[in-house]
Structure 1
Amino acid sequence: MKKYLLPISLIFIIGAFLLGFIEIDTVSIDKKTDNVINYGLENISDNLKNITNLSKRDQDIICAVSRGLVSKNIDNNIVPSLAKEIIKSEDEIEYEFKINDNIYWSDGSKITSNDIVVFFRELLKEEDEKNISALLDVYGAKEFREGKTTFEKGVAIKSKDNSVIIRLNSKNDKFLDELTKPQYRLRKYLIMWENMKKNYNELVYSGEYKITLFENDKVTLESNYDSDNKKVINLINDSNVELSMASFEVGERDLVVDPPQSQLNKLSNDGNLITIPKNEGVYLYINDSNNISLQGRREIYKYISKSMENYLISNDKSFELAEGSYFREDKDDLTKLQTRKVISNKQEEWSPPKVLTILCKDNTMNRELCRIIEKWFRENTRIFIKYSLLKEDEFNDEELQRRYDMILFNNEANILNKDKFYKKFINYMSESEKETLLSSNNNDEEYLSIENKLFREYRIVPLIFYNENIAFSRKVSSIKMDGNGNIDFSTIIN
């Protein structure tokens, strides 16, 4: 018997030894997996050069791998990023951005003030004009873009002692806010960003992450820092959000933006949902040329507002009621809200029509809004709602729009850019309102005058403000959006 004891003991010892290795390897794999976040997206563009055709989710990639001079946090505060200090001249025309001493490209080389100046020169040449209003306010920038001067001699963007000095044509209170947007984030060799699939591996990146894979169905971001605990984010191209959520349910996705409405309450109850206010609203144009009286327009607005309110009783994550405010921030102005509530409660004679028509662009949320409105009118009035959801080119047909009683609009409700906001409605304003708007020169009193008139006459009225919803798995304990509505990947904790 003794002769078998030694071999058996050796086998036992060797087995235990090998099992120890297997256990260590398993822990290592689990740890590595815990550092990987899978993010489901409906589409991923490989052309990241220009912002024009990029969705917020495409812009997320730029924000992850690039940093700007300044950024905007979730509370809409402008904070330094590449710049460590900002000095404004007394007349607020010249800005000096003192650059951080400890900022680096993904290849380890130092980011300098000259890198930023070179990037701005490229941006002026390559980006669409409507996306670079901040840079076009710089002295000489328009002339350079038009080929009338050189950048070095004519444009007031200079590098000096590791500072970037920028001089504007005139004071612009929105200059810093504009610089926080994704298009102003530092990117090297901007022209190469037109084909990321081909060039991603040849680029260096100024942000928290670098791109280590760019394919049709997957983009991989890997953190530039903390070499012992690399974070990896896989952006996976799913054909639709329903597919992303199906993968989320079986643990194959950790982040899904704007999950289906039907799942929001469950996700919230399970503690797997973040709801964040967005600077995007829905507004209702009521056609005053279609024989709908002032009282009729007032009643229609009240009815539609009630349909939204009724829906929110059981679906409070999708949006927030505007309650008479054109901007979310104005909901704190109780005097204005009370005045508009009094106006809305006026009662006059009105003969309701049998049918009312609504036109809007075809998207998931507009389909839901139209369904809500139609159902409420059917159950609570004798008015039948007919709605049409059209693609953008069809929707923009002005002759077609005139045939409808109402039009639903999406608009960016950025209180810091009222000029852009109101100009979205310019085709539905009276001639006097157009004239006031075009000559307003960013005057808040004139904007308020236009707004008050639109509300009193119930021609263009606010309905709701959207929320951003993000489903997250148990692997993610923290995630935030920045002030421009982009995911701040640096805040992900897992």
Structure 2
Amino acid sequence: QKDILANTFEGLVDSDENGKIIPGLAEDWSVDESGTSYTFKIRKDARWSDGSPITAHDFVDFFSSILNKDMDNIYAKQLNCIFGAEKYRQGRCNFEDVAVNAVDTRTLRIRLNYPCNYFLNILAQPVYSLRNIDYKLVNWKKNYKSILYSGSFVIDRISQDGSVILKKNNSYWNKSRVKSSKIVLTSLNTSESALAAFEKDRINVFTNPPLGEIKNIKNKVNYITSPRLEGKGIVFNMKKKNVTSEAEFRNFVSLVVDRGNIVKNILYDTASAADSYIPDYVSDGLNGRFMNRVFFQNTSQRESAVETIKNLNYDKNKHLVFIYVDSVENKKVCENIAENIEKASGITVDCRGYESSRFNQQLKGGYYDMAEIDYRGDYDYPLAFLNMWSSSSAYGLCGYRNEKIDNELMDAVFQKDNSQRIEIFRDIESDLAQDMPMVPLYFENTVIVSKTYISGVYADKLGNIKLDRAYLVH
């Protein structure tokens, strides 16, 4: 569904495959000297799919809907930077008290509580694309014909097998850029079934092929990898009174992990080894890249690892439980790490794979010593990766608390100077690298496989597949 959303609706701004902020339904925007007032100019030719004009008032209605306390919107907290948004979401004021206003038909003004140079990065997410949030959208498979679309495509038909047929939106302001008149989206349960359909010419594009087949297909197809704001890491149960509560042991684990081997020989280069807590392709909020420090090495540093725990008191006979979401790749990764730990320390690590919901139960119940988890940035900015280490974050269930990091995160939010904010981020990463509440392993790529006669398919940093430039090469 996320790919349908990304291709049928558009927001004030968008982002390209490199994460650069580009105009969407707003042709331009300005920010006042305080950095807290954003004024967006809506395009004259911005129209809904029925041909009616899109106005600033439509965006006011949209923000009123997504911030409503009755909406189950897990992303709404991101908009707490908007003046009045948090109070409205909590039901403590009316939307008239929220600083999202239509100055006129084509001018939208949004006032923030504090300077937020990554505000556009937040708005560029598909979840903030313009749509009427009503019963039609909730039951979109039944009501798709009567939904108003604001993006490149409209849903033309849903076939009996569940395939969604997209048709070019002829009312879209940038319809000349949309190269295909029709695209069929088919949902398949596994990467293996997608590959089989691809080889039988039933589909001509799919994502994230079976890892074991990459070598066989890579040179026969268009094979594109795009970095994603998502990775894997190891967290530790710090509530237990055992070796995992010791920073020396957590640093030891980070040192024995062979990230380069995992990425190359288990994941077949569908990911990049993590050398820090924040990927090196994250935006700095100014359409540039966040320049990071290197905290972690690609290869196993066994000698340094052993030195790290030489004075640590631990029971070699006590097994550690290492849990993960059950998959072939996760099993291989965790067993590889467990083997390195055992060889360097003599501690036996018991790897246990669980179905996703059961894994979450084990995690919440504390029935583990180490756990391989997904972690992601919901928007393209360092703070999205660092906020997870605040004491109020859901990641706090592992037992990690650091008052200094809490204060630094607060300072970063209210810091007016971007270069100073970047320095705060680097300080937070240094604190994390010392405490090691999580050992970053790798950051994932979206892999797009297509026939050689297909061009223009790309993915954004959130892993959404964009089809506005897709076409058949003749």
TM-score computed with the length of structure 1 as normaliser = 0.76
Aligned ranges 1:18-417 → 2 under 5 Å: 58-125=1-68, 127-147=71-91, 149-152=93-96, 155-214=99-158, 217-225=162-170, 231-287=181-237, 289-291=241-243, 296-305=249-258, 309=261, 312-313=264-265, 315-323=267-275, 325-329=276-280, 333=292, 345=304, 347-348=306-307, 349=310, 353=316, 355-363=319-327, 365-373=329-337, 384-397=348-361, 402=366, 404-413=368-377, 415-417=382-384
Q: How far apart in 2 are the matches of 1:403 and 1:153? A: 46
Alpha-carbon deviation of 1:328? 1.5
Q: Is the 8 A contact 2:263 2:273 kept in 1?
A: no
Alpha-carbon deviation of 1:419? 4.2
Q: What letter corresponds to residue 120 of structure 2 in structure 1?
A: L
- The equivalent residue for 1:32 is none
| Cα gap change, 1:151 to 1:424, in 2 (>3 Å) | closer
| Cα gap change, 1:380 to 1:222, in 2 (>3 Å) | farther
Q: Is the 8 A contact 2:408 2:424 kept in 1?
A: no
Structure holding more helix per residue: 1
| Cα gap change, 1:424 to 1:343, in 2 (>3 Å) | farther
Alpha-carbon deviation of 1:269? 2.0
The worse-fitting range, judged by mean Cα deviation, of 376-385 and 92-101 is: 376-385
Q: What letter corresponds to residue 264 of structure 2 in structure 1?
A: L
- The equivalent residue for 2:417 is none
Secondary structure at 2:470 match in 1: strand
1:90-120 deviations in whole A, cap 9, x for unaligned? 1122111011112222222232222222222
Q: Is the 8 A contact 2:67 2:89 kept in 1?
A: yes
The worse-fitting range, judged by mean Cα deviation, of 145-154 and 482-491 is: 145-154
Percent of pairs identical after alignment?
Answer: 25
Q: How far apart in 2 are the matches of 1:357 and 1:241? A: 29
Alpha-carbon deviation of 1:435? 6.2
Alpha-carbon deviation of 1:268? 2.0
The worse-fitting range, judged by mean Cα deviation, of 292-301 and 86-95 is: 292-301
The worse-fitting range, judged by mean Cα deviation, of 216-225 and 83-92 is: 216-225
Q: Is the 8 A contact 2:80 2:86 kept in 1?
A: yes
1:428-458 deviations in whole A, cap 9, x for unaligned? 3544x15642673053566545543443354
Q: Is the 8 A contact 1:322 1:464 kept in 2?
A: yes
Q: What letter corresponds to residue 207 of structure 2 in structure 1?
A: V
| Cα gap change, 1:199 to 1:129, in 2 (>3 Å) | closer
Q: Is the 8 A contact 2:458 2:465 kept in 1?
A: yes
Q: What letter corresponds to residue 441 of structure 1 in structure 2?
A: M
Q: CA RMSD in A?
A: 3.6
1:153-212 deviations in whole A, cap 9, x for unaligned? 665422415111122233223321111111210113533210012110011211100001
- The equivalent residue for 1:38 is none
Secondary structure at 1:85 match in 2: strand
The worse-fitting range, judged by mean Cα deviation, of 483-492 and 411-420 is: 411-420
Q: How far apart in 2 are the matches of 1:251 and 1:283? A: 37
Q: Is the 8 A contact 2:324 2:330 kept in 1?
A: yes
Aligned pairs, number:
433
Q: Is the 8 A contact 1:64 1:208 kept in 2?
A: yes
Secondary structure at 1:490 match in 2: coil
Q: What letter corresponds to residue 157 of structure 2 in structure 1?
A: L
Q: How far apart in 2 are the matches of 1:400 and 1:107? A: 48
- Unpaired stretches in structure 1, ≥5 consecutive residues: 1-57
1:462 matches 2:440:
yes
Q: Which has the larger radius of gyration?
A: 1
- Unpaired stretches in structure 2, ≥5 consecutive residues: 282-289, 413-420
Q: How far apart in 1 are the matches of 2:305 and 2:399? A: 24
Secondary structure at 1:90 match in 2: coil
Q: Is the 8 A contact 2:383 2:425 kept in 1?
A: no
Q: What letter corresponds to residue 271 of structure 2 in structure 1?
A: F
Q: How far apart in 2 are the matches of 1:260 and 1:439? A: 41
Secondary structure at 2:258 match in 1: helix
1:348-368 deviations in whole A, cap 9, x for unaligned? 337893654311233564234
Q: How far apart in 1 are the matches of 2:167 and 2:345? A: 56
Secondary structure at 1:409 match in 2: strand
1:474 to 449, 452, 456: 452
Alpha-carbon deviation of 1:134? 4.8
1:257-314 deviations in whole A, cap 9, x for unaligned? 11111122223222432111111111123456423666654443333326x5266147
- The equivalent residue for 2:415 is none
Secondary structure at 2:186 match in 1: strand
